[in-house]
A = this chain, B = another copy of it.
Amino acid sequence: MDVNQLLSDVAMATCLSEGSEGVRNVLRNVMKFQPIPLHELAKIVKIPVPVVSSVRKELEKRRILERKSGIILTEQGRLLVGSLGIKSGGPKKLDGGYKFPDWLIPLADNFEEIQRSRPEPNYKLDQSHCNSATAVLRAAYLYDCDALEGRNIVFIGDDDLTSLAICLLSIEYGLDTGNIIVLDIDDRLLDFVSQFAKSLDRTVKTEKYDFREGIPENIVNGNDVFFTDPPYTISGLRLFVSRGVEALDTGPGKMGFISFAGKSPSENLAAHEVFTEMGLAVQEVIPSFNNYIGAQVHAGSSSLIRCLTTHRTRSVSAMDITKIYTADRNII
Q: Which residues of the other chain, B, contact A176 by a CB distance below 8 angstroms?
A: 85, 87
Nearest to A277 among chain B residues (CB) is B276
CB-CB under 8 A from A87, the residues of chain B are 149, 174-176
Of chain B, the residue at the smallest CB distance from A3 is: B150
Q: Mark A1-42, 1 if CB is under 8 A from B, else 0.
A: 000000000000000001111101100100000000000000
Chain B residue, CB-CB nearest to A137 = B94
The listed residue with most B CB atoms (<10 A of its CB), out of A22, A89, A97, A169, is A97
Whether A146 sits at the interface, judged by CB under 8 Å, is yes
Note all chain B residues with C-beta closer than 8 A to A21. Answer: 252-253
CB of A94, distance to nearest CB on chain B (Å): 5
Which residues of chain B come closer than 8 Å to A283, judged between CB atoms? Answer: 265, 268, 285, 287
* Docked CA distance A266–B311 (Å): 7
A53 to chain B, nearest CB (A): 21
Instruction: Kindly list chain B residues whose C-beta atoms are within 8 Å of the C-beta of A281.
Output: 262, 265-266, 268-269, 272
Identify which of B91, B96, B280 contacts A98 (C-beta below 8 A).
Answer: B96
Beyond A253-B22, A280-B269, whether A85 also contacts B144 by CB under 8 A is: no
Q: How many residues of A contact B (CB 8 A)?
A: 70
Closest to A98 in B: B96
A90-B253 contact, Cβ under 8 Å, with A96-B97, A272-B276, A284-B287: no
Within 8 A of B (CB), among A274-303: 275-276, 279-287, 303
- In the assembled complex, which residues on chain B have CB atoms less than 8 Å from the CB atom of A123? none
Docked pose: A22 CA to B251 CA in angstroms:
13
Verify if A70 is at the interface (C-beta below 8 Å from B).
no
Residue of B nearest to A31 (CB): B149
CB-CB under 8 A for A279 and B269, given A149-B84, A169-B91, A173-B91: yes
How far is it, in angstroms, between the C-alpha of A28 and the C-alpha of B98 when the chains are bound? 22
Q: What is the interface of chain A, defined by CB distance below 8 A to chain B?
A: 18-22, 24-25, 28, 84-87, 89-99, 101, 103, 137, 140-141, 143-144, 146, 149-151, 169, 172-178, 251-253, 262, 264-266, 268-269, 272-273, 275-276, 279-287, 303, 308-312
A-B contact pairs, 25 of them (CB 8 A): A18-B253, A21-B252, A25-B146, A85-B150, A85-B151, A85-B178, A86-B149, A87-B149, A87-B174, A87-B175, A90-B149, A90-B175, A91-B143, A91-B172, A94-B140, A95-B98, A96-B98, A262-B281, A265-B310, A268-B283, A269-B279, A269-B281, A272-B272, A273-B276, A283-B287
